[in-house]
Amino acid sequence: MELMTAALRTLNSLPVFWLVLSLPALALMRGFWAGDIIAMDMLHPTGEFSARFMIIAMIISPLITIFGNRGWTGWLLRRRRSFGVAAFVYAMLHMVFYIVDMEELEPILAEFWAPGIWTGWAAMLFFVPLAITSNDASMRWLKRRWKILQRLVYGAALLTLAHWLLIHDGMTGALVHFIPLFMLQLLRMIITYGRKKKNVIKADSPRPL
């Protein structure tokens, strides 16, 4: 029985979770090395997984606002940093394979200002400070500013959405991912606003006799 508990605890540990998050990348890399997937075709899946993990990291707070503190929201919250860092690692892969696919600097510069391209670079730029401060030391060092800094993720999300909409043929893929995020954020705002209003009314109302 104890062995069973220990095994389950290991399965539920963060390192195992990181392994799970890295599985798509491992499968893609294997395909690339085997010659089954060319660099150009690595771009869409790496980009999509990056956006997916970023969105999951971003919906955890709204889910807590909507559903309250529950076992599963706590489980997700403990893995939020893992999702965020995974989003960054997949974005890095996305960028590296873009460079591999383009082969030379000249064509990269030639298309840099295409709307679908610079938005991708800008999103990457937003991701960097988020990723390098995704550790306890940075949280301690930046204190309250850490939370403000992490709000850069909203900028990164908007740029990612623009990049996806502008670079890809058809909007379905981008919308399928971003509409749930948008709806959950909207709902969170409505609920938070409602709670604030309720508190204000309570504070204003005359004291009971």
Partner 1 sequence: MKYPTVTATLAAATMAFGFSAPVHATGKMTCEAGPQSGWVSRADLEADLVEKGWKIKKSKVDGGCYEVYGTTPEGDRVEAYFHPVSMEKLLVLRRGKELFRKK
State the minimum distance, in angstroms, from the CB of residue 144 to partner 1: 30
Q: Quick check: helix, strand or coil at residue 35?
A: coil
State the minimum distance, in angstroms, from the CB of residue 13 to partner 1: 29
State the minimum distance, in angstroms, from the CB of residue 89 to partner 1: 25
Integer angstrom CA distances of residue 157 from 30, 85, 191? 29, 14, 22
Output 26 or 40, the one with its CB closest to partner 1: 40
Q: Give the C-alpha separation, 131 to 152, whole Å.
A: 11
Output 32 or 101, the one with its CB closest to partner 1: 101
DSSP character for 103? -
Q: Give the C-alpha separation, 161 to 164, whole Å.
A: 5
Output 96 or 191, the one with its CB closest to partner 1: 191
Structure tokens at 125: 């730029």
State the minimum distance, in angstroms, from the CB of residue 47 to partner 1: 14
Task: Name the residue among 38, 155, 160 with its Cα closest to residue 98.
Answer: 38
Helix (H), strand (E) at residue 1: none
Which residues lie near partner 1 (CB under 8 A)?
A: 38, 40-41, 66-67, 101-102, 106-107, 110-111, 114-117, 166-167, 169-170, 172-173, 175-176, 179-180, 183-184, 187, 190-191
Output 26 or 110, the one with its CB closest to partner 1: 110
